[in-house]
A and B are shown apart, each in its own frame.
Chain A
Amino acid sequence: DAKTTQPNSMESNEEEPVHLPCNHSTISGTDYIHWYRQLPSQGPEYVIHGLTSNVNNRMASLAIAEDRKSSTLILHRATLRDAAVYYCILKRRGGADGLTFGKGTHLIIQP
């Protein structure tokens, strides 16, 4: 499986934007970029995914580099409820494969 690299932790202030980076230099043309987050004492939760173009949904935005070797998850206005571990995962298009989680980025939000 292609690997992803994320910072271990990041800190941000409440009501400010947060940019969570992910490197995936060995990504293949059939890999989608998925983001999940895991709040304390809960199972992971889907956030967003994309292939080549930038994507927006109600939770976040995903900015994908032109060469697809990196991406950034953007939380436009962080709240205390966004404090979680964020996982960047590559998933083969059309595949029913299990997800390969790394250690993710522990996002700390300061009030």
Chain B
Amino acid sequence: DAGVTQSPTHLIKTRGQQVTLRCSPKSGHDTVSWYQQALGQGPQFIFQYYEEEERQRGNFPDRFSGHQFPNYSSELNVNALWLGDSALYLCASSQLRGATGELFFGEGSRLTVL
């Protein structure tokens, strides 16, 4: 049973560019959340998708947007990249009605903005 998979694992962009990161949730999961983790910090919640809609959002600007597809996979898009967007982007999946609310995380996509 594959866990949460993310792609790409590493990428480098320049300021002003746009990036798309992808996530496939664990089998049987219907909810995908995205987190940003700067070096030396804990992950920060960006937003959560369920039934192809954004259900909850953290304190991130509109430059951060997402999408969830009918197969529950998800994309995170970031426009107008700036240096401060350099971070590890983590995807987590869960079952919305799951008993424990346990999140399963992928290994992340490391974004470097030059």
Contacts and interface: CB of A to CB of B under 8 A. Distances in A.
Interface of A: 32, 34, 36, 41-46, 49, 85, 87, 91, 95-104
Interface string B20-64: 000000000001010100001111111110100001101000000
Contacts of B92: 43-44
A34 B106 CA distance: 18
A99 B103 contact: yes
A49 B100 contact: yes
Interface of B: 4, 31, 33, 35, 40-48, 50, 55-56, 58, 90, 92, 96, 100-108
A55 B30 CA distance: 27
B105 A41 contact: no
A85 B4 CA distance: 20
A101 B103 contact: no
